[in-house]
Structure 1
C-alpha cells in the first residue's frame, strides 16, 4: 500500500512510461471525485459508493487521468488522455481552500464536468498543475478564461 506521496508519484510515472516512453510527468496529484468530502465522510460506506479516486498528471504533452485503487492507492487503468489545449478549456472553477481544494474537469465523453476534490496534502501539486497548465505554454483559449486563476497575486 502506497502511503508516501513520492511512492505514489513514482508508480504513476511508471504507468505513464509504460504507455508513452518519451513523455514524462511534470506533476501528479491524487483526487477524489464527487460532492464534498466532508459530506461523503459523514455517510460512511454508503458515501464511498458515490466517489471515485484518481491520479491526475500533467506531462509535457498531455494531461492523463488514472483511476486509483481504493485500497492500495496504486494507479490502475488509464481513464482519459487530454491534450494540453483541450485540458485548458476543460478545467473550470478552480477553488483553493484550506483543507479541500477543488476544480471541475470536463472529461471527454462525459455530459457534465466532474468535481475533483484535492486534499491539503496535495495542494502544492495542485498549485504546480494549475500554474504549469495555465501559466506556461500557449495562450489560454478564450472559453477557459472566465475562471479566475486564484494562484496569481
Structure 2
C-alpha cells in the first residue's frame, strides 16, 4: 500500500518512465477535487463519492495527471498528459492556505476548470510545482 510520500513519488516516476524514458519528474503532489475538503468531509460518504483523487506531476517536458486509488492511495492510470507550454495557460487562481491550498486547472477536453485541493502534507511539492510551471512564486 502506497502511503509514504517517497513510495508514491517512486511509483509515479516509474509510470512516467514507462511512457517517456527521457523525462524526469520535478514535483509530484496529491490533490482532491471538489469545492472544499471541509464541506466534502462534512457530507460523509456522500461527499467522498463526489470527489476525485489525482497525483499531479511536473516533469521537464509535460504535466502528467494520474488518477489515485481511493483504497490503496496508489497512482493508477494516467488521465492527462499536457505539454508545459499548454499547461502554463491552464493553471490559475492559486491559493496557499494553512491547511488546504488550492489551484484551478483546466483539464484538456473539460468544459470548465477543476479545483484541485492540496493538503499541507504536499505543500513543499506544490511550492516547487507552481514556480516550476509558471515561473512565478506562490503568493502567501
Residue of structure 2 equivalent to 1:144: none
CA distance in 1, matches of 2:124, 2:5: 12
CA distance in 2, matches of 1:14, 1:78: 12
- 1:3 Cα shift? 1.3
* Corresponding position: 1:95 with 2:82: no
Residue of structure 1 equivalent to 2:41: 41
For structure 1, the 5+ residue unaligned runs are 136-148
Residue of structure 1 equivalent to 2:138: 151
1:66-98 C-alpha deviation (Å, 9 max, x unpaired): 000011111111100111111110001000000
CA distance in 2, matches of 1:115, 1:150: 19
TM-score (norm: length of structure 1): 0.88
Over the aligned positions, Cα root-mean-square deviation in angstroms equals: 1.2
* 3-state SS of 1:49 partner: helix
Preserved contact between residue 67 and residue 75 of structure 1 (Cα < 8 Å)? yes
Structure with the greater alpha carbon radius of gyration:
1
Residue of structure 1 equivalent to 2:80: 80
For structure 2, the 5+ residue unaligned runs are none
Preserved contact between residue 96 and residue 150 of structure 1 (Cα < 8 Å)? no
Residue of structure 2 equivalent to 1:129: 129
CA distance in 2, matches of 1:5, 1:116: 18
* 3-state SS of 2:103 partner: strand
Cα–Cα, structure 1 residues 117 and 152, in superposed 2: closer, same or farther, change >3 Å? closer
CA distance in 2, matches of 1:20, 1:150: 28
- 1:151 Cα shift? 2.2
- 1:49 Cα shift? 1.3
TM-score (norm: length of structure 2): 0.96
- 1:18 Cα shift? 1.0
